[in-house]
Structure 1
Amino acid sequence: MTFRSRWKRTRLDTRLALGLGALALAVFAVVGTVMATSMEEFLARRMDDQMATTQVSLKKEYDRNNGLKSSGYGWYSALYEVRDGQARPVNPEGLPDDSAPFAEVALRVVGGEEPSYGTEYLEGLGAYRLRGCQIADGVVIVSAAPMNDMTTTVRQLVLVEVAAFLLALIAFVVIGRAVLRRGLQPLSDMARTAHDITSHDLTDSARLAVRAEGGDGGAEVEELRSAFNTMLEHIDASLAARTVAEQRLRRFIADASHELRTPLTSIRGYADLFRYAAANEPGEREAHLEKLRSEAARMSVLLDDLLLLARLDSAEVETSLRVTDGDVAALAREAADAFRAARPAHPLSLSLPPGPVPLAFDPMRLRQVVDNLLTNAAVHTPPGTAVALSVSTTPRAVVVRVADSGPGIPRGDQARIFDRFYRVDDSRTRDRGGSGLGLAVVRSLVVAHGGTVSLSSDPGSTTFTVHLPHHPEGPTPRSRESNPQDR
């Protein structure tokens, strides 16, 4: 494993602490260098000042005695006569063996007004600070002070700085890591929450029980926690929608199989009877053939409804509707005439505006909506029950209502009345209760037109209300359908 991969696998608090430690080390190095350099320069200036003071005293002594008797501070001090570009010591017995740097300093002084300084290494003695000053014409005094004490002081300062900075750095990293780990604890809790999600079976679950809890960590962590919980809520909603959709799909497939099996079984039975009658009872062949046609037509209607719902639910860009400008009042009038002819046992009242009701719609599909609602009212109410069809307008929509005075729909069934293959009474046969697709087709077609359909029902009064907007928004019907159970 490479260093880079190991570094990536290190905990975030450790990496932050080490990063801050590296930054602190750089700061400590700069501060320590500045302190050591400043101390060294300060000691050098002090030494230069002391050497200047000493040479002033030596100059006075030279003026009194025309020579030097002491060096001061135990330093080296010597007089040099500078003639013809050469410096000759006046008292060579007091000089160290390596005295060439003294002569060089003396030569630099002659001809100038400022003293000359230099740092030289004297063989066998170490580093010395030299200062030369002209005290008379052609006479130069050169003093040399050892720098061992100054170097030792600076070295001790550096050692103390290194030790102090190392201890401070270790404490900084250790304490900083502990503080960072405590500060990042909410992130660790959220990570554990995310790991807990993997232990849940999401196959049939509609909700995740885990959430990121807590109120500490600062504004940023709280924002992350809120975003994390919002994401979990979104996952919950998605899982719930998926679970409902899968359950609806399984029930849809089972119901469709059952509904198709019934007419197929009847067709198979009547086919056997027709074959028997053809051989033994020729007079019954037409009756059995008519039954075959009837069952085939019934199955064709069921397949047409299923195909229509599939087209309305499809993700195709183009809608299956053929929208043209028409008159809703004229369509309702035609539907009422057909209902009176087919259902004479149910008196129908028709209420229309005085003039035409223009709207952009698919005539065949909207007529199917009205026919399905009227047929539903006739099938599920006893003979003699009054049925009412009305059309009205609002500033935004055309409203079509189909009402009856039958026994009503139980409240427990009203929420699912538009579900596919749903029947209020599961014991009904197709002859009495239908396939359970009529109202599902109604809602899908109304939604495809950009409208809504609603139900209000009490004992003695049931009303289906269809709102069709004058200017539906959006090009695709599927995008308007908000109930996931119909998909």
Structure 2
Amino acid sequence: MSRLGRWARRWFGAWRASRLGTRLAFGLGALALVVFAIVGTVTVSFMNGYLGRRLDEQLKTSQVAQVPDLRSSHGNPQTIYSWYSAVFEVDKGVATPQPGGKLPSDAATLAKVAVDATRGDVFRTVYIDGAGIYRVRACPVATDQVDTGTVLLSAAPQADLDNTVRQLVLVEVIAFLIALAILVVAGRLVLRRGLRPLSDMAGTAHDIASHDLMATAALPVRASGEGGGAEVQELRTAFNLMLTHIESSLAARTAANERLRRFVADASHELRTPLTSIRGYADLFRYAAANEPEEREAHLSKIREETARMSVLVDDLLLLARLDAHDAEPPVRPERIDLADPARAAADAFRAGRPGRPLEIAVPAGPVEIDADPVRLRQVLDNLLANAAVHTPPGTAVSLALTVEDGQAVVRVSDAGPGIAAEDQRRIFDRFFRVDNSRTRSAGGTGLGLSVVQSLVVEHGGTVEVASEPGRTTFTVRLPLPS
């Protein structure tokens, strides 16, 4: 039993390891074999029954024709080739064959049938020693009482019928085997042709596996070709869509990694500058410790300025990191506020910090209520106003306007400065990007202000965009109104 189990496991393993087309072809052959077996069994059973009924009809017809003559003349029964035929006289359950008939050497079995026929017609299949299987019909010629009378008995051999059935079985087996072989071979060829698109897709997958995805995110191959039916075409389309999605995901990951490397490099550079300044001023302070108090105070003032600059930079970096990561602590805490309040507060702070810079503010008479974090929204407005002041000449006019348009609160910060080049407008919100590509504080800051603006606005579910031309630059912030 263990050996049989091991053989079965090996056979099942080989079956599972075979190709799909081979398994489908043999599965189709097994199904055809079952169908052939059912059809053959039904056909043989029907033919066997049909021939048996024909033989019974022949026996009956022969005896019906003989009975009237036997009753009137008491002659001999007709003898048919290869049949046994005889007249039995039955006396109280004992059957005696009459002369003139044809019987086998051992007629005891036929005699028992003759005794039963005194009660009526009898059909029976019997085995006769030395002769084989016979189909027997016995009918009464004349009966006086039960188990007594004259009986006509005919017995036809079933060998011819069995030979015919065996020949039919042989013909069916040969025909079915030929049909099965043709079906398996032709089915294998058809399936191989039909499954060729799947093999092509497997080849495409192998090509992709051999491609160095670390070098480039572009996948150079796609599943091509035609045929295979609607299902294969659907699979081919889904396969290509998957490859496109993988390619776009790889490209996005590569771009994200590149942005991360650039971000780390820029952050390192920006942090290195104030740290270098602090170290330099600290050295100067140490060397000038015995000098005049005014000189020491100047060095300390520079150290405080660089420290404040580095603190602002670190705060902006931490805020951007929180907005990107969405930690357990939410980066914004929205509440229902009137957008006009942080707009007026930002305008007042701008005027106080830059008294020589003209600022116009326009807000609606009524409240503009939105769901937003007032601290972060104030930071957005301060950054936009500071950006307008830093990147325009002294005395350039700046405006802050608040309106409601198409179910949104719209904030526009405009200036009358020289404008931003078209190629720079596409990258204006990138981190550490500055129009003049400078790294000094006097040239416009660290390049994180507008990145913070965009991240905070997107976190509030809004959008920010820029439109610029010589003499006019406008940053437009759109925030959704509560439903």
TM over 0.5: yes
On the 8 A contact 1:277/1:283 being kept in 2, the answer is no
Partner of 1:483: none
Q: Does 1:6 align with 2:14?
A: yes
How much has 1:375 moved relative to structure 2?
1.0
Question: Any unmatched runs of 5+ in structure 1?
Answer: 473-487
| Secondary structure at the counterpart of residue 224 of structure 1 | helix
| Secondary structure at the counterpart of residue 431 of structure 1 | helix
The one-letter code matched in structure 1 to 2:259 is R
How much has 1:260 moved relative to structure 2?
0.5
Q: Does 1:263 align with 2:305?
A: no
The one-letter code matched in structure 1 to 2:305 is S
What TM-score, normalized by structure 2, do the two folds share? 0.92
Partner of 2:389: 378
On the 8 A contact 1:129/1:146 being kept in 2, the answer is yes
On the 8 A contact 2:380/2:452 being kept in 1, the answer is yes
The one-letter code matched in structure 2 to 1:118 is R
Partner of 1:71: 79
The one-letter code matched in structure 1 to 2:87 is L
Say if 1:423 and 1:339 are closer, same or farther in 2 by CA, change over 3 A. same
- Partner deviation per Cα, 1:339-361 (whole Å, 9 max, x = no partner): 22322443222222234433333
Question: Which of the residues 280, 284, 290 maps onto 1:273?
Answer: 284
How much has 1:415 moved relative to structure 2?
1.5
Q: Does 1:124 align with 2:135?
A: no
| Secondary structure at the counterpart of residue 346 of structure 1 | coil
How much has 1:287 moved relative to structure 2?
1.4
State how far apart, in whole Å, the 2-side matches of 1:91 and 1:370 are: 135
Q: 322-331 or 244-253: which moved more? A: 322-331
The one-letter code matched in structure 1 to 2:111 is A
State how far apart, in whole Å, the 2-side matches of 1:69 and 1:143 are: 9
1:98-247 equivalent positions in 2, closer than 5 A: 98-112=106-120, 115-137=121-143, 138-247=149-258
How much has 1:227 moved relative to structure 2?
2.0
How much has 1:140 moved relative to structure 2?
0.5
| Secondary structure at the counterpart of residue 110 of structure 1 | helix
On the 8 A contact 2:274/2:306 being kept in 1, the answer is yes
How much has 1:330 moved relative to structure 2?
3.1
How much has 1:93 moved relative to structure 2?
7.7
Question: Which of the residues 337, 351, 364 maps onto 1:340?
Answer: 351
On the 8 A contact 1:58/1:68 being kept in 2, the answer is no
State how far apart, in whole Å, the 2-side matches of 1:350 and 1:39 are: 106
The one-letter code matched in structure 1 to 2:131 is L
| Secondary structure at the counterpart of residue 239 of structure 1 | helix
Question: Any unmatched runs of 5+ in structure 2?
Answer: 1-8, 144-148
On the 8 A contact 2:323/2:331 being kept in 1, the answer is yes
Say if 1:76 and 1:92 are closer, same or farther in 2 by CA, change over 3 A. same
On the 8 A contact 1:409/1:459 being kept in 2, the answer is yes
Partner of 2:321: 310
How much has 1:295 moved relative to structure 2?
0.8
On the 8 A contact 1:54/1:72 being kept in 2, the answer is no
How much has 1:331 moved relative to structure 2?
2.4
What TM-score, normalized by structure 1, do the two folds share? 0.91
On the 8 A contact 2:85/2:101 being kept in 1, the answer is no
Q: Does 1:448 align with 2:459?
A: yes
State how far apart, in whole Å, the 1-side matches of 2:333 and 2:70 are: 125
- Partner deviation per Cα, 1:28-62 (whole Å, 9 max, x = no partner): 11111111122222222222222222223433443
The one-letter code matched in structure 2 to 1:186 is P
How much has 1:428 moved relative to structure 2?
4.4
| Secondary structure at the counterpart of residue 413 of structure 2 | strand
State how far apart, in whole Å, the 1-side matches of 2:444 and 2:273 are: 14
RMSD (Å), alpha carbons? 2.0
State how far apart, in whole Å, the 1-side matches of 2:366 and 2:350 are: 22
State how far apart, in whole Å, the 2-side matches of 1:385 and 1:125 are: 131
Q: 404-413 or 47-56: which moved more? A: 47-56
State how far apart, in whole Å, the 2-side matches of 1:443 and 1:99 are: 115
How much has 1:409 moved relative to structure 2?
1.2
